[in-house]
Amino acid sequence: MGRTVADQIVETLEAACVKRVYGLVGDSLNGFTDALRRRKTIEWLHVRHEEVAAFAAGAEAHLTGNLTVCAGSCGPGNLHLINGLFDCHRSRVPVLAIAAHIPSPEIGLDYFQATHPEQLFRECSGYCELVSTPAQMPRVLEAAIRHAVTNRCVAVIVIPGDVALLPAGDQKATLTQGLLPALPALVPSPETIRDLAALLNAGQKISLLCGGGCAGAHDQLLDLAARLKSPIVHALRGKEHVEWENPFDVGMTGLIGFASGYAAMEACDTLLMLGTDFPYRQFYPAKAKIAQVDIRGEVIGRRAAVDLGVIGDVGATIGALLPHLHARQDMAHLETSIAHYKQARAALDTQASGDGRRLHPQQVTDTASRLAAADAIFTCDVGLPTVWAARHLQMNGKRRLIGSFWHGSMANAMAQAIGAQAAFPGRQVVSLSGDGGFTMLMGDLLSLKQLNLPVKVIVFNNGALGFIELEQKSSGFVDTGTDLENPDFAAMANAIGIKGVRITAPSEVESKLAEAFAYPGPVVIDAVINRMELAMPPKITGEMAKGFTLYMMKAVMNGRADEVMELAATNLLR
């Protein structure tokens, strides 16, 4: 067979330094997977569900910053990619999706498996185009790659199986330097820097709110905080970049954050937002002046009205700003915030030390954090595992933390762990999975074995869709539809040839997690934890207190008084 369009696709992916493609085969993809097989330059990692392929590609892109690829066959095959791609797109990681399409002569005729991928993928991508003829290639693919890499988004090419098998045109092979232009640093103009300095110099109590845009700017942030005597509050995506070795750290704000993070924002007269689009408007201070620095002009001011918007990289902006800032002597705001943080941290640590009887998820997470490798990669499922990760995992500048922090999809953690482990075979990868999240895409547990990925999956087995159960209670509903009837996950893992470890008592946590972490292959750690865990937000509103009271009254009236008693015993007697 001569060189086909599919070969040309693989050549271009090689030039884009792609190492592996996550996906699941189908006849419309056969040209592509066969080209991968013949050329042997890019690995095909086949998973059991395409959604997992998209999450895995997203995790690899998050960790490496490089373009990653997932692929699905026509109709339902690529439709399954969509939720994972929404996560990638909204997390702003560069992922290319290859959506194979029905035979080109059948498009528009309601053929078997017909969908319109170029419409379906529009909302979860920054570029989405149909390849109809070989002459469009490789330019359409190159455009897709450049969109993904320069805009840090999802790009999709839709290609009918028959088009992929046509002879390729004779366009020259693309060179890496032309395909992947280096991204420049964005530095604000001197006038803007002076305006920002003036705003900050006029402030008395300045707090910094830091997000994922602070990646790589740890040193600059600390210099800035030292100059301004400012507490550093972070949003969840900032945790892995700013929390560690940081004497100005006062914890996270938001619904699942710390009281001290919330208080440091409330108490300031000037808030400087750095690389964050933290979405919860009720957590922004009502009276403070606000300046916001972000590389994306379009996100400035959309959560809280700002007095000054600054388009720029966080690190470069701080570098330009520092010489213009007056050194500040007054430590009061910083000291108060740090004292409050120490209190909040101590309260969380007490929760993690447990009560000696019930197995609390905080203890499991805290122990996992202590025992995990210095450069471990953690993933956490949406739901309570994200709360435990945010509050009890310790970062250090080498560790990483990935979740579905923007899209908020369940079942992300194990899928992301697959991508993390594939990209970093030598590093320890730990998935903090909910029992709901784990079982949602449980088929891909088999991939850990088949693909030889030694991921440690800690299942927080509370027998419930716990986060929603808590939400229901706090808004005055009697919890309903949240029960999960689970098997013994450790026994299940053993039955499929994966090591299973079951933890049922607080005294076993340390030794069993150590045993699991030391094992060279994949492990499922079935942590049978307490269900009645109250993960309270830092700001308990009157509404929420009313909600809980209403829930308790209704539960008692419905003959569920014992549950109310257990809730009180679990959370108040610790």
472 a catalytic residue: no
508 a catalytic residue: no
Q: How far is the CB of 253 from ligand TPP (least distance, A)?
A: 20
450 a catalytic residue: no
C-alpha torsion angle, residues 505, 509, 514, 520 (rounded to 10): 60
- How far is Cα 572 from Cα 574, in angstroms, rounded to an integer? 6
Q: How far is the CB of 409 from ligand TPP (least distance, A)?
A: 5
H or E element: which one contains 455? none
Is the Cβ of residue 371 or residue 484 nearer to Mg ion in the bound state?
A: 484
User: In Å, how far are 14, 164, 266 from 19, measured between CA atoms?
Assistant: 8, 21, 46
171 a catalytic residue: no
Residues near 5 by Cβ (< 8 Å), separated by ≥ 6? Answer: 31, 131, 134, 137, 159, 163, 164, 165, 166, 167, 168
Say which entry of Mg ion, ligand TPP, none residue 5 contacts (CB below 5 to 8 A, set by partner kind): none
Cis peptide before 160 (omega within 30 of 0): no
378 a catalytic residue: no
Identified catalytic residue from 18, 242, 250, 382 = 382
- How far is Cα 35 from Cα 100, in angstroms, rounded to an integer? 14
Identified catalytic residue from 112, 191, 282, 298 = 112
Q: Convert residues 386-415 into a mask of x (bound to Mg ion by CB under 5 A) and - (unbound).
A: ------------------------------
Say which entry of ligand TPP, Mg ion, none residue 160 contacts (CB below 5 to 8 A, set by partner kind): none
Largest CA distance in the chain: 77
Identify the CA nearest to 413 among candidates 443, 394, 388, 437: 437
Is the Cβ of residue 59 or residue 468 nearer to Mg ion in the bound state?
A: 468
> DSSP letters of 111-144?
-TT---HHHHTGGG-SEEEE--SGGGTTHHHHHH
CB 223 within 8 A of CB 217: no
Q: How far is the CB of 462 from Mg ion (least distance, A)?
A: 4
- 462 sits near Mg ion (criterion: CB under 5 A): yes
Identified catalytic residue from 283, 467, 489, 548 = 467
Among 434, 522, 538, 547, binds Mg ion (CB under 5 A): 434
Among 23, 58, 203, 466, binds Mg ion (CB under 5 A): 466
- How far is Cα 564 from Cα 138, in angstroms, rounded to an integer? 63
Identified catalytic residue from 106, 113, 118, 515 = 113
Q: How far is the CB of 87 from ligand TPP (least distance, A)?
A: 10
Say which entry of ligand TPP, Mg ion, none residue 378 contacts (CB below 5 to 8 A, set by partner kind): none
Is the Cβ of residue 318 or residue 413 nearer to ligand TPP in the bound state?
A: 413
Residues near 501 by Cβ (< 8 Å), separated by ≥ 6? Answer: 490, 512, 515, 516, 523, 524, 525, 526
Q: How far is the CB of 407 from ligand TPP (least distance, A)?
A: 9
Q: Is 476 left (phi over 0), alpha (psi -120 to 50) or beta?
A: left
Identify the CA nearest to 525 among candidates 440, 435, 441, 415: 435
Is the Cβ of residue 294 or residue 533 nearer to ligand TPP in the bound state?
A: 533
Among 50, 240, 435, 533, binds Mg ion (CB under 5 A): 435
Contacts of 117-120 with C-beta under 8 Å, sequence gap 24+, read 117/74, 117/78, 117/156, 117/158, 118/156, 118/158, 120/79, 120/82
Bridge-partner residues for 240, per DSSP?
none
Is the Cβ of residue 128 or residue 415 nearer to ligand TPP in the bound state?
A: 415
Q: How far is the CB of 356 from Mg ion (least distance, A)?
A: 23
Give the residues lining the site for ligand TPP (CB under 6 A): 381-385, 408-410, 434-437, 460, 462, 464-468
Q: How far is the CB of 435 from ligand TPP (least distance, A)?
A: 4
Say which entry of Mg ion, ligand TPP, none residue 154 contacts (CB below 5 to 8 A, set by partner kind): none
Identify the CA nearest to 379 among candidates 336, 420, 438: 420
Is the Cβ of residue 228 or residue 387 nearer to ligand TPP in the bound state?
A: 387
| Stretch near Mg ion under the rule CB under 5 A, chosen from 174-182, 275-283, 373-381, 460-468 | 460-468
- List residues near Mg ion by CB under 5 A: 434-436, 462, 464, 466
Catalytic residues: 50, 112-113, 382, 467
